[in-house]
Amino acid sequence: MSAIDWSNLSFGYMKTDYNVRSYYKDGKWGTPTETTSEYIDIHMAATCLHYGQEAFEGLKAFRGKDGKIRVFRMRDNALRMQSSCHGIMMAELPVEVFEETVLKAIKLNERFVPPYGSGASLYIRPLLIGTGAQVGVKPASEYLFVVFVTPVGPYFKEGFKPTPVAILRGYDRAAPLGTGTIKIGGNYAASLVAGDKAHKMGYSAVLYLDAKEKKYLDECGPANFFGIKNNTYITPASSSILPSITNKSLIQLAEDLGMKVERRPVAEEELATFEEAGQVGTAAVISPILRVDDIDENKSYVISKDGNAGPVSTKLYNKLRAIQLGDEPDTHGWVTILD
Ligand code: PLP
Ligand code: COI
């Protein structure tokens, strides 16, 4: 293997040594087993291919100054994957199988966990698919859970530098009572056209409005939204957004810092009042927002007046990273340290 340039990684796929798989058959999950193959051999009538029985997760592991590897909030991802299983009628994956498979995938690929100080991390991608054959629209009776890992740098190439986002009123990502609250591939397929359009126009992401009234902020394509004003952390409440584990963590950290927190519908016009705003997620961490352009309405909300990340976003970002890396104590029990 040629040496990895840890400090210049992008958010992309790199082949590692192993992935770990568990199969569900006859009503039972099998023992997670490693393989070096990057390919999956499945039946052409597998439900994941036709009817979208597919869910995934994203979490990260970090190497600390002490050389130890820390995984961030793994249990929360396991629980969210269970809610995805219920949402599209897949066999429920036990939390223990999720955790065992994730830990095994990290350990077997330990040499790919980026060094402390590189700014990079190990991205962990658990995937659950219906592999049993069906032709009628019905859930499968067989499933595959696979976890692969890949070292990554920032999701947005600008890293912690503010980027502009776009409101494109001609597209919805998820319906009000649809699948926006679970992490399934279909939501991302639904976001590709708008995302591509936004990228071509120079925006880092689409900021979706609620699909019913087109009045309230929902979330960005790959991340939740937050705004800051008057020492308050404000994030949309909506029935069509993914419950972000990063957002939940920042809410706790904001409270720890003595800030107020509001989780409520956020009307688009309120953008004009925010002192800071950002996209938040595992991949995005905090990606500050420079400006929001409502393209079809020809409106623009400038958030960062000087083009830099604001003081509150910076404080929250540093605090979160410090806990993830083990530089500050893990007072909320978010971190699993590998033996
Ligand atoms: N919203 C969407 C649509 C996402 O894809 C993600 C990424 O997982 C998030 C929000 C952020 O969630 P989390 O912080 O759990 O990674
Ligand atoms: C994540 O933040 O883990 C995501 O899943 C976002 C994107 C890569 C889909």
Q: Write down the domain spans for the chain.
A: 6-152, 163-325
Beta-carbon contacts of 76 under 8 Å, excluding residues fewer than 6 positions away, are 245, 248
pLDDT band with cut points at 50, 70 and 90 for residue 276: very high
Distance 298 CA to ligand 2 centre (A): 29
Q: Which residues line ligand 2 (CB under 6 A)?
A: 58, 222, 281-283
Whose CA is closest to atom 3 on ligand 1?
222
Distance 244 CA to ligand 1 centre (A): 5
Quote the CA–CA distance of 291 and 32 in Å, as a whole number.
Answer: 45
Site to probe by mutation for ligand 2, drawn from 219, 224, 246, 282 as the one with most ligand atoms within 8 Å of Cβ, is: 282
Instruction: Please report the pLDDT score of residue 2 as a whole number.
Output: 72
Whose CA is closest to atom 6 on ligand 1?
223
Tokens of 331: 């007072």
Told to judge if 161 belongs to the known catalytic residues of this protein, a careful annotator would answer no
Instruction: Please report the pLDDT score of residue 156 as a whole number.
Output: 86
The model's pLDDT over 14-73, given as tens digits with 9 standing for 90+, comes to 999 999 999 999 999 999 999 999 999 999 999 999 999 999 999 999 999 999 999 999
**pTM for this entry:** 0.97
Which of 3.40.50.720, 3.50.50.60, 3.30.470.10, 3.40.50.12780 would CATH assign to domain 6-152?
3.30.470.10
Percent of the chain having pLDDT more than 70?
100
Q: Does the domain made of 163-325 have the CATH classification 3.20.10.10?
A: yes
Unique residue bearing structure tokens 């409440």: 237
Which numbered atom of ligand 2 lies nearest the CA of 284? 2
Unique residue bearing structure tokens 């494109």: 168
Instruction: Please report the pLDDT score of residue 224 as a whole number.
Output: 98
Percent of the chain having pLDDT more than 90?
97
Tokens of 6: 């840890």
* Inter-CA distances, 92 with 21, 118, 125, Å: 15, 37, 18
Strand intervals (E) in the chain: 19-25, 28-29, 33-35, 54-56, 59-63, 69-72, 121-130, 143-152, 163-167, 205-209, 217-220, 224-229, 232-236, 260-264, 276-281, 285-294, 299-302, 335-337
Catalytic-labelled residue, pool 65, 107, 161, 183? 183
